[in-house]
Structure 1
């Protein structure tokens, strides 16, 4: 269904309210927005056009490799052309939003590339999400059908999972099997179907839970995606002989560059299936078998991989791996040091981004000297991006001083177009950018993250909503996690807070390698806090993780044991 939502074009930005900010903020920005003279050309570059070019010049080169075998660029072009014909036959037009569901595979990219070539918007969902969530998304998107696939080309029809099937019936949405494209004649792009000015088109929508639990669809424009892909190609030096691991769920923003950057460079995408991605030993085996040269992990999984590499004690376990990128949560110095120790010939990058922007907005290549710091920087902005650390001062904002904590704002090409059909959420996070008159988007995004700037490097300090006051002292739960993570007995830890009357109590969930006692941990914690804090300790056998490997704070909150009646300062512990 064609969307008339204002997030699909720039005219909706006129509704954004300017942020009341000091004029000094522009001069204090980290990075700069400097579109090139040929900006309209390169931010409108389509990955589907790159695939066509590679298929013409190097038809036998491998585009995808994985459990399903190899897919050459010639075959990929043919698959995209058939799915394009399928979509056009079902009335898909420029500006439509199309929901796509299916396991991570070459078909994930085929669906995206076909939609991109038409000028439609790709909206990935997980068919196992609750049916209420899927119904909400179907209603927001206004889709007439769901394009689904089973991840295996030519082997069996797609059968929607029960939650998606229920939501589709409830909302009157028709399931459309991507495998039916085999019955269509490949249809190359034509002037009639090629999109006009793709740079400003909504290219994809990533649904996030949001702070309220209501799913919000973050809209990213084509030009933001193109800027990020070009930056990744240059920052990583991607070449046709590279192999990029595609291990992120399709519903997470990092999946976009993992499956597209290699294709734009004529390189190979290695699809890591769910079975291999869930276990470090199998993940390392898949990387080795496919000759992966570039991979990305959340730090929690990265730590598990480091543990597995230490058990193997090989001098050069992954000789082809050039880059390992951390994303999704804070990279702790101890984990980074483990990567540098176990993968001496691999460069480590710390990346910081979000769904509301086109993935990364800042990056930093970790060096040995960095891991001696208590916290690692997220670095400097990517191309055509400016970062602002601002401090609220009355009704206005001022730039933070060196080392001063403030809120992080993003300006430039990565900033997305807001949220689907959610003006209230958009106005709370997106503002008119009056600081950068040359910015193509003229949008400023409030990340909700705390940050500071030291020596022109940005440090993220956690979420604003992860701040608590304990006995009148403001504390950052993420900083406490970072400090506890330095204890030699702890392999994992997560800190939450419970409201207790007018204050809070810390709740520390931890996984330990020995019999360290809560009293010993409390002494270590008190030494680093600005003031002693009442704390409960919950020892875990393993830390619960979300589908993409991050600490699952909601699962931790649901498993919190009831508070003991004794409110003394004696540390208490519960084993789960």
Structure 2
């Protein structure tokens, strides 16, 4: 019975002990890698040291452990060491401003910090340094006791996202949710030990979770690519080619950027790349079609899911062609998950009601246990299923506007907070963006609303959109102003920073 995330790792250690589990291909000291056996050893060292360090006479509660490290093997060892100790972790970007770190500490109240001496952090917390990992001693008795006390509703991690009030929200995720996700994800996409995966997402966001889970559950190999290198398409494409990468799960903005120079993309056959998954934002169909033409025999899938539902709750394996201005479906629910759509009066919208828009709500094992140390935000986002009141049956309110198509697949039009009321009409700005993105000279676009609709677009040249949009959008949806920019500023989740666009008005 799998009740601990470490159970996945133990099985892979048993079956693939000498196989390379994780690779840092661009480490400062040169290529760095670790086998499953070595990774297990170091995780046990860290778990033992955590258990020796923490107060053993305190209440029988899990303790928060803060990790501040760059993307790398030591960061993953810290994850699994914390999990094996029976506690839970929060990872913050090592470049986080001190003010954000302090706000997270205020909410989290961690009992321990894991970091590197190189970062020179002074947070007034008991600290374990990665430089000392190799010197820690394994205490099997302490580890065994921690595992015996474990239940699958224990937290694995708390991931902090931006809060509208300026105070970060800590999304609390349990082992059971991650385990369920691991089983479903590997089954949906037929992942096994032969997979060589290239990670793009920072480890402090949930988009990195499928890469890690797919690796440890199946005995695959994961390459950890530094975030800054994605600004250099040739380095990334060359790595995919040379290392025979077979699977990627990347943000749309990255795939858009790599596909901007078609002649350059054609230099890299990428014959080993058989699975291309995308998620996190709406993927423009135009750039997706470029990738499909380049890799016609690969599996392409569009994945959807908020942090509060353990990353992915819906997916669509692309099995038909789409025009450049069509919206790509997010598909149907993953197994053991249910998607429910309600209108603004909380009336249920059936999959048979094609094109009727509403807000998406989600239920299932993967649901978060709420926002850490914040009852009010939790009550607003996690609500009783409005279809009944017979027992506790929580749904997560996503804030995303969706509608069913004729295949009973969901289309996502963007955020409810990105929906505007203009000239008496309700408008999803994401719907406008999908049309503008289909223009052959536009790389990406984003619309904002400030009394009028304003569109920002990435292009090498100024474009007159009036004739292009005349037959594609009703007059009231056509932006009043268009502003060309060289490239969008991205937030820490590799999404377009829409708040920054208001600075250009």
**TM-score normalised over the length of structure 2:** 0.91
Q: Unmatched 5+ residue regions in structure 1?
A: 1-40, 150-156, 499-503, 562-576
Shift of 1:434: 6.7
Separation in 1, partners of 2:148, 2:469: 57
Q: What are the superposed Cα offsets for residues 498-540 of structure 1, whole Å, 9 maximum, x if unpaired? A: 1xxxxx2111111224453xxx313433443333356122111
Shift of 1:135: 0.9
Shift of 1:309: 5.2
Quickly say closer, same or farther: Cα 1:436–1:472, change in 2 above 3 A.
closer
Shift of 1:218: 0.7
1:543 paired with 2:488, answer: yes
Name the residue aligned to 2:356: 404
Please give the root-mean-square deviation of Cα atoms over the aligned residues, in Å: 2.3
Secondary structure at the counterpart of residue 431 of structure 1:
strand
Select which of 508, 522, 529 maps to 2:455. Answer: 508
Name the residue aligned to 1:451: 402
Select which of 30, 44, 64 maps to 1:81. Answer: 44
Separation in 1, partners of 2:150, 2:129: 30
Within-5 A mapping of 1:19-58? 41-42=1-2, 44=3, 46-58=4-16
Aligned residues: 491
After alignment, is 468-477 or 542-551 more displaced? 542-551
Shift of 1:111: 1.0
Quickly say closer, same or farther: Cα 1:121–1:190, change in 2 above 3 A.
closer
1:144 paired with 2:111, answer: yes
Quickly say closer, same or farther: Cα 1:372–1:541, change in 2 above 3 A.
closer
Name the residue aligned to 1:347: 299
Name the residue aligned to 2:224: 271
Separation in 2, partners of 1:435, 1:481: 34
Shift of 1:54: 2.8
Residues 5 and 175 of structure 2 are in contact (CA less than 8 Å); yes or no, is this contact kept in structure 1? no
Quickly say closer, same or farther: Cα 1:385–1:312, change in 2 above 3 A.
closer
After alignment, is 288-297 or 477-486 more displaced? 288-297
1:489 paired with 2:441, answer: yes
Quickly say closer, same or farther: Cα 1:117–1:142, change in 2 above 3 A.
same
**TM-score normalised over the length of structure 1:** 0.80
Shift of 1:547: 3.5
Residues 360 and 402 of structure 2 are in contact (CA less than 8 Å); yes or no, is this contact kept in structure 1? yes
Separation in 2, partners of 1:87, 1:197: 16
Q: Unmatched 5+ residue regions in structure 2?
A: 26-30
After alignment, is 350-359 or 186-195 more displaced? 186-195
Shift of 1:66: 2.2
Separation in 1, partners of 2:427, 2:295: 35
Shift of 1:312: 4.2
Separation in 2, partners of 1:371, 1:101: 44
After alignment, is 538-547 or 382-391 more displaced? 538-547
Q: What are the superposed Cα offsets for residues 225-272 of structure 1, whole Å, 9 maximum, x if unpaired? A: 111111111112111121122221111101122123211111111111
Quickly say closer, same or farther: Cα 1:50–1:464, change in 2 above 3 A.
closer
After alignment, is 265-274 or 194-203 more displaced? 194-203
1:71 paired with 2:34, answer: yes
Shift of 1:363: 0.4
Select which of 92, 100, 118 maps to 1:133. Answer: 100
Within-5 A mapping of 1:99-498? 99-149=66-116, 157-160=117-120, 165=122, 168=123, 172-188=124-140, 190-194=143-147, 196-308=149-261, 310-314=263-267, 317-371=269-323, 374-393=326-345, 396-400=346-350, 401-433=353-385, 442-454=393-405, 455-498=407-450
